């Protein structure tokens, strides 16, 4: 149920983001989802890609600091307040969301949200118990 | 039991005998420079002192200083005390600004240097049979040849590899079975990084001792070098104006301070502002008088290096005074809002924080008439987090540590790995933009 995300440290200067996407593009790696969190000095680029190992290898070779993080992909019910239901569930269980971002593709009719939790396994269990659809990594990488 | 020594008689001379020898040699050197070097004749006359007025070591304090500027003004041979036909070697220091400083050695000077460098190797625990990988630069710089002659005198096998071509250095250390490494401490760490990339593990090498110098380094850096290169890392001190490498060396027995060869050099520590000699153990600028040199003897040369001195007996049995680990140069010292800061102090703080490589850059600027300090620190995998708040907490903890330790407010900026300039010689650690205005 875990989805593997790669995170990249980038300095906040022009061209760095383009550099990362160019390196991945040249290596034939497809970006499935992307989120950039930044401060005035630096940013953290978070990616879901089709080939994690290759992405990591080519970026490291170019001198980037790269790490892998386990995140969770959840399908959001296609009705008003769908996301709110998920967040309420987590809140009720005292599980913290470190960050979240939307997946580019939809899963059927529904949107997919990527979550990073402080307690990944407990979060997955709670969501499944409440009947939410948690997506397998393999399904996401190839979407 | 006493440690092994190269010249036990002189290295263990009782204090009284050592000082008597120093005074005799000092007096004879002063006579020589007064007679042969117009610069010193004028300087002594102006200070109203003649060589025979110097009757005790205490009288040394009445003599004028010699500075690097005096050497530049006498470029190239103005301070030589021996005629050119007796000079067998010429070295020069890199002149970052203007002309280099030039030094000349007579045959006897080379012999002295060779002996002191051999003493230095033994003090570090090297011996006949060692394979010495000498990565100090050969050429005008004194490091390479100085260490080379000493290593040969010791009877060790010396590999005159010089600096540069790190891949080849690593291959040779591996294949030739080098047991002793001599280079700058920053180059040692650079080699460790390269070896990692090449997939070479220092634990499989025969290196036992590293003799590192030519730039100030910290105790924290020693821990890192010893761990990464799997050897005992010792501090060496020298400067071309005085002789070259081998002026002082840390003994492996005590690993606590560098023995300065007092039968050839008289050290003093002064306050760089007032120029007065400070008490034993107090930090200040190192001043050295060479008492046996013939080519270019120097009287009270201001090294600009910051250290302190102790005459406490050492566990190794040597009687020669010890210099504390050098903590920067009086001209590297940056004054930030009135606080004296040495780059090495910031380095110790950084190495103490898990995951931070000692690759950093200090940028000093002035905004609205206030000095600012920005510290660039490289983020590697050990410290990277995919959460902004974790990285921000790291920056803040470094800022707090700098504030607590040095009393200076700074701004830490995290930068991508390998973006701060690496060098195979001395590292650039400070950019002072205030000086550019
Ligand atoms: Zn000792």
What's the pLDDT score for residue B74?
94
Query: Do residue A52 and residue A90 come from a single domain?
Result: no
The domain boundary residue, chosen from A41, A69, A97: A69
What is the model's pTM?
0.68
Chain A residues touching B417 at Cβ < 8 A: 63-65
Round to whole Å and give the CA distance between B437 and B434. Answer: 6
Q: Indicate the range of B24-33, B77-86, B129-138, B345-354 predicted with least confidence.
A: B345-354
Contact B386 A46 (CB under 8 A): yes
pLDDT category at B355 given cuts 50, 70, 90 is low
Query: Do residue A98 and residue A64 come from a single domain?
Result: no
Contact B418 A63 (CB under 8 A): yes
Asked if A105 has any chain B CB less than 8 Å from its own CB, the reply is: no
* Homologous superfamily (CATH) for B1-331: ANL, N-terminal domain (3.40.50.12780)
Round to whole Å and give the CA distance between B261 and B414. Answer: 43
Which of A33, A42, A43, A114 is best to mutate for the B interface (most B CBs within 10 A)?
Answer: A42
pLDDT at B436 over 70: no
Round to whole Å and give the CA distance between B203 and B37. Answer: 53
Tell me the sheet residues that pair with B182: B134, B211
Query: Do residue A50 and residue A109 come from a single domain?
Result: no
A132 falls within a domain: yes
Kindly provide the ipTM of the predicted complex, given to two decimals: 0.85
- Check residue B100 and report its DSSP letter: P
A38 falls within a domain: yes
What's the pLDDT score for residue B432?
84
Domains of chain B, residue spans: 1-331, 334-436
Ion ligand 1, residue ranges at CB < 5 A: B 251, 254, 314, 316, 318
CB–CB of B328/B376 below 8 Å? no
**Which residues are within 8 A (CB) of B179 and not within 5 positions of it... i.e. 6 or more apart?**
B126, B130, B131, B132, B206, B207, B208, B209
Round to whole Å and give the CA distance between B100 and B241. Answer: 11
pLDDT category at B164 given cuts 50, 70, 90 is confident
What's the pLDDT score for residue B366?
86
Query: Do residue A74 and residue A64 come from a single domain?
Result: no
| Mean pLDDT score across all residues of chain B | 91
What's the pLDDT score for residue B424?
53
The range of the structural domain enclosing residue A24 comes to 3-69
Query: Do residue A133 and residue A88 come from a single domain?
Result: yes
**H/E segment holding residue A121:** helix A120-129
Output the domain CATH number for residue A132. Answer: 3.30.2130.10
What's the pLDDT score for residue B406?
82
A143 falls within a domain: no
pLDDT at B327 over 70: yes
Round to whole Å and give the CA distance between B325 and B307. Answer: 7
Q: How many CB atoms lie within 10 A of CB A13?
A: 12
pLDDT category at B359 given cuts 50, 70, 90 is confident
Q: Which long-range contacts (CB under 8 A, 24 or more apart) does B326-330 make?
A: B326/B216, B326/B235, B326/B237, B326/B286, B327/B216, B327/B283, B328/B216, B329/B216, B329/B304, B329/B305, B330/B272, B330/B285, B330/B304, B330/B305, B330/B306
Query: Do residue A78 and residue A115 come from a single domain?
Result: yes
- Across the range B399-427, mean pLDDT stands at 81
User: Looking at chain B, which residue has its C-alpha nearest residue A61?
Assistant: B197
The domain boundary residue, chosen from A21, A40, A69: A69
Chain B residues touching A63 at Cβ < 8 A: 416-418
What's the pLDDT score for residue B357?
65
Nearest one of B238, B342, B216, B330 to B278, comparing CA atoms: B330
Query: Do residue A60 and residue A100 come from a single domain?
Result: no
Residue ranges, chain A, pLDDT below 50 = none
Q: In this predicted model, what pLDDT tens digit does every residue of A7-44 receive, in sequence order?
A: 999 998 888 889 999 999 999 999 988 899 988 889 99
- From residue B30, how far is each of B26, B64, B258, B266, B267 by CA, in Å? 6, 12, 27, 13, 16
What's the pLDDT score for residue B407?
84
Q: In this predicted model, what pLDDT tens digit does every residue of B259-302 receive, in sequence order?
A: 999 999 999 999 887 899 999 999 899 999 999 999 999 999 99
Query: Do residue A11 and residue A63 come from a single domain?
Result: yes
Contact B416 A10 (CB under 8 A): yes
Which of B386, B387, B414, B420 is best to mutate for the A interface (most A CBs within 10 A)?
Answer: B386
Strands B209-212 and B180-183: parallel
Contact B387 A98 (CB under 8 A): yes
pLDDT at B324 over 70: yes
What's the pLDDT score for residue A6?
94
Query: Do residue A50 and residue A82 come from a single domain?
Result: no
The domain boundary residue, chosen from A69, A95, A118: A69
* Homologous superfamily (CATH) for B334-436: ANL, C-terminal domain (3.30.300.30)
Number of compact structural domains in chain A:
2
CA distance B264 to chain A (A): 49
Query: Do residue A41 and residue A89 come from a single domain?
Result: no
- From residue B48, how far is each of A53, B39, B45, B62, B298 by CA, in Å? 77, 14, 5, 9, 18
**H/E segment holding residue B102:** strand B102-106
What's the pLDDT score for residue B113?
98
Asked if B416 has any chain A CB less than 8 Å from its own CB, the reply is: yes
CA B166, B168, B173 angle in degrees (round to 5)?
95
Round to whole Å and give the CA distance between B350 and B411. Answer: 14
Q: In this predicted model, what pLDDT tens digit does every residue of B58-114 receive, in sequence order?
A: 999 999 999 988 998 999 999 999 999 999 999 998 655 567 889 999 999 999 999
CA distance B182 to chain A (A): 29
- The Å distance, Cα B30 to ligand 1 centre, comes to 30
A123 falls within a domain: yes
- The Å distance, Cα B260 to ligand 1 centre, comes to 10
What's the pLDDT score for residue B95?
55
Query: Do residue A104 and residue A48 come from a single domain?
Result: no
Round to whole Å and give the CA distance between B116 and B260. Answer: 10
């Amino acid at each position: 149920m875990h989805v593997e995300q790669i995170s990249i440290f980038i300095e906040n200067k022009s061209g760095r983001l383009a550099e990362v996407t160019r390196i991945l593009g040249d290596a034939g790696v497809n970006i499935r989802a992307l989120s950039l969190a930044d401060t005035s000095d630096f940013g953290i680029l978070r990616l879901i890609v089709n080939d994690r190992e290759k992405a990591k290898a080519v970026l490291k070779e170019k001198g980037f600091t790269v790490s892998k993080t386990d995140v969770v992909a959840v399908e959001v019910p296609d009705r008003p307040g769908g996301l709110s239901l998920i967040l309420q569930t987590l809140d009720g269980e005292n599980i913290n969301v470190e960050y979240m971002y939307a997946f580019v593709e939809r899963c059927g009719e529904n949107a997919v949200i990527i979550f990073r939790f402080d307690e990944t396994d407990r979060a997955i269990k709670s969501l499944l118990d409440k009947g939410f659809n948690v997506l397998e990594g393999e399904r996401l990488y190839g979407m | 039991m006493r440690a092994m020594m190269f010249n036990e008689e002189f290295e263990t001379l009782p204090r009284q005998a050592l000082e008597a020898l120093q005074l005799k040699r000092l007096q004879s050197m002063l006579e020589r420079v007064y007679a042969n070097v117009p610069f010193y004749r004028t300087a002594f006359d102006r200070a109203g002192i003649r060589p025979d007025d110097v009757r005790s070591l205490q009288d040394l304090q009445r003599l004028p200083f010699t500075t690097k500027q005096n050497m530049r003004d006498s470029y190239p041979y103005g301070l030589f005390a021996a005629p050119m036909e007796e000079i067998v070697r010429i070295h020069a220091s890199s002149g970052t600004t203007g002309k280099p400083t030039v030094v000349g050695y007579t045959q006897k000077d080379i012999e002295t240097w060779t002996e002191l460098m051999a003493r230095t190797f033994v003090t570090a625990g090297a011996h006949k049979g060692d394979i010495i990988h000498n990565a100090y630069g050969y050429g005008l710089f004194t490091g390479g040849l100085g260490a080379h002659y000493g290593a040969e005198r010791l009877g060790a096998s010396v590999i005159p590899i010089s600096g540069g071509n790190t891949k080849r250095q690593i291959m040779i250390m591996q294949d030739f079975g080098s047991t002793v490494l001599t280079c700058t401490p920053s180059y040692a760490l650079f080699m460790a990084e390269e070896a990692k990339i090449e997939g070479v593990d220092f634990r499989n090498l025969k290196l036992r001792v590293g003799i590192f110098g030519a730039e100030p380094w910290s105790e924290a850096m020693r821990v890192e070098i010893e761990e990464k290169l799997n050897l005992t890392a010792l501090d060496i001190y020298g400067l071309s104006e005085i002789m070259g490498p081998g002026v002082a060396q840390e003994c492996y027995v005590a690993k606590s301070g560098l023995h300065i060869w007092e039968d050839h050099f008289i050290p003093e520590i002064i306050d760089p502002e007032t120029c007065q000699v400070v008490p034993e153990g107090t930090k200040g600028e190192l001043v050295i008088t060479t008492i046996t040199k013939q080519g270019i003897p120097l009287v009270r040369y201001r090294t600009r290096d910051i250290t302190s001195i102790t005459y406490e007996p050492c566990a190794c049995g040597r009687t020669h005074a010890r210099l504390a680990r050098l903590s920067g140069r009086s001209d590297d010292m940056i004054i930030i809002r009135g606080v004296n800061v040495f780059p090495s102090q910031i380095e110790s703080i950084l190495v103490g924080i898990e995951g931070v490589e000692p690759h950093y850059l200090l940028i000093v600027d002035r905004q609205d008439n206030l000095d600012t300090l920005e510290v660039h620190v490289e983020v590697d995998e050990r410290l990277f987090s995919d959460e902004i708040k974790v990285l921000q907490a790291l920056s803040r903890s470094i800022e707090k540590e700098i504030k607590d330790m040095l009393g200076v407010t700074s701004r830490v900026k995290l930068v991508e790995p390998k973006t701060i300039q690496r060098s195979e010689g001395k590292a650039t650690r400070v950019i002072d933009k205030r000086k550019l205005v």
